[in-house]
Amino acid sequence: MQYMELLSESQRPVSGTDGALERRRQLLGQLPVYDQDPMKCQSLSTEEEISSMLLFVKQYKQEALGVGEVALPGEGGALREAAIQRTAKDAKKDAVQQQDHSSTNSNAASTAGSTNGTEDGSKTEYRCTGCQGEVEKESPAVYAERAGYHDALWHPTCFVCSECGQGLADLVYFWSNQKLLCGRHYCQSVWPRCSGCDEVRL
Of 122-136, 149-163, 176-190, least confident by mean pLDDT is 122-136
Residue type, 138: E
What pLDDT does 114 receive?
Answer: 33
pLDDT of 83 > 70? The answer is no
Give pTM, 2 decimals: 0.75
| Structure confidence at residue 202 (pLDDT) | 80
pLDDT of residue 149: 84
Q: Give the pLDDT of residue 153.
A: 95
Tell me how far apart the alpha carbons of residues 64 and 186 are, in angstroms, rounded to a whole number.
9
Mean pLDDT score across all residues of the chain: 82
User: Residue 105: its pLDDT value, please?
Assistant: 45
The tens digit of pLDDT for each residue in 131-163 reads: 999 999 999 999 999 999 887 999 999 999 999
pLDDT of amino acid 44: 86
Q: CB pairs under 8 A, 24+ apart, for 111-119?
A: 111/84, 111/87, 112/84, 112/85, 112/88, 115/80, 115/84, 116/77, 116/81, 117/77, 117/78, 117/80, 117/81, 117/84, 117/149, 118/77, 119/74, 119/75, 119/76, 119/77, 119/78, 119/150
pLDDT for residue 118 is more than 70:
no
CB atoms within 10 A of CB 54: 14
Residues 144, 174: Cα–Cα separation, whole Å: 10
Does 90 score more than 70 pLDDT? no
Q: What is the pLDDT of residue 7?
A: 75
What does the pLDDT look like over 16-65, one tens digit per residue?
888 888 889 999 999 999 999 999 998 888 999 999 999 999 999 999 99
Task: Name the pLDDT band for 117 (thresholds 50, 70, 90).
Answer: very low
